[in-house]
């Protein structure tokens, strides 16, 4: 996931806020791997950073397979995790799922830093519930929504390059799974981290944000940033009649 859409030159307010108007998965419009390769028991040699699969690739529409616990410690799997972290940071992004590298395995990585949210005002950070997230690796994750409240914010995905839309997500979730060492983990998150987790889990189930979006809000990333950058979501929804 990345959060930097093209920013119009119109106003400094829009420039400061538009960097956060999109939550996007770290996926680029590039060559995709075949579904047979994605289902192999051992990941193939690390792909180059540009080989992040785009919408239309079968691997993005298939349920990824569980990772055998015995596989986690293998050099091949550890190399996959290292590559995922490398690509996520290079994007730059705040999350990446294995299918985005053409590998149909149930693992994703997340990380958010102060640097990536530096342009947000305190009010914008509070509205999004955005806080730093140290690097985490989740293998075979299971996400459980906690309570009914949902939050709506813009999301985008470089697999659907150049577009974004409002997407409702549970405000708080618990994720359980294994870490990169195969140890059990339980992580309760809310706000922006919860959105990242749900976005990445969707990738493991063959789902993209366009399957969940409020369709009236769908538009190019540039237009949404220009029109709505810096505005609270309540104002955006009112403008769109949502």
Point out the residues that are catalytic.
200
- CB 83 within 8 Å of CB 46: yes
The SS3 of residue 208 is coil
Closest CA to 48 of 34, 33, 63: 33
Residue 7: count of CB within 10 angstroms of its CB? 20
Report residue 24 as tokens.
């996007």
Q: Treating both helix axes as pointing N-terminal to C-terminal, what angle do 233-240 and 221-228 enclose, rounded to 10 degrees? A: 110
7: helix, strand or coil: coil
User: How far is residue 159's CA from residue 26's CA, in Å, rounded to a whole number?
Assistant: 8
Which residues are within 8 A (CB) of 32 and not within 5 positions of it... i.e. 6 or more apart? 53, 54, 56, 57, 58, 59, 60, 102
Q: Which two tokens stand for residue 95?
A: 């999350």
Query: ω before 92 within 30° of 0 (cis)?
Result: yes
Chain-centre distance for alpha carbon 108: 9
């Amino acid at each position: 996931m990345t959060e930097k859409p093209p920013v119009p030159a119109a106003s400094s307010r829009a420039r400061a806020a538009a960097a956060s108007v999109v939550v996007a998965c770290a996926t680029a419009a590039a060559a995709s791997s075949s579904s047979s390769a994605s289902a192999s028991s051992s990941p193939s040699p690390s792909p180059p950073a540009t080989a992040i699969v785009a919408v239309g690739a079968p691997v993005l529409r298939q349920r990824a397979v569980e990772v055998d616990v015995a596989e986690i410690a293998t050099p091949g799997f550890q190399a996959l995790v290292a590559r995922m972290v490398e690509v996520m940071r290079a994007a730059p992004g705040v999350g990446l799922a294995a299918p985005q590298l053409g590998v149909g395995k149930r693992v994703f990585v997340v990380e958010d830093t102060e640097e990536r949210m530096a342009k947000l005002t305190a009010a914008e950070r509070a509205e999004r519930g955005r806080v730093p997230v140290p690097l985490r690796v989740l293998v075979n994750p299971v996400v459980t929504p906690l309570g009914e409240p949902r939050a709506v914010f813009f999301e985008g995905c470089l697999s659907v390059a150049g577009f974004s839309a409002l997407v409702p997500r549970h405000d708080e979730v618990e994720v359980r799974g294994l870490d990169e060492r195969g140890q059990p983990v339980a992580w309760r998150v809310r706000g922006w981290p919860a959105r990242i987790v749900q976005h990445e889990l969707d990738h493991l189930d063959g789902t993209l944000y366009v399957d969940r979006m409020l369709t009236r809000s769908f538009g190019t990333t540039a237009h949404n940033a220009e029109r709505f950058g810096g505005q609270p979501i309540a104002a955006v929804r009112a403008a769109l009649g949502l």
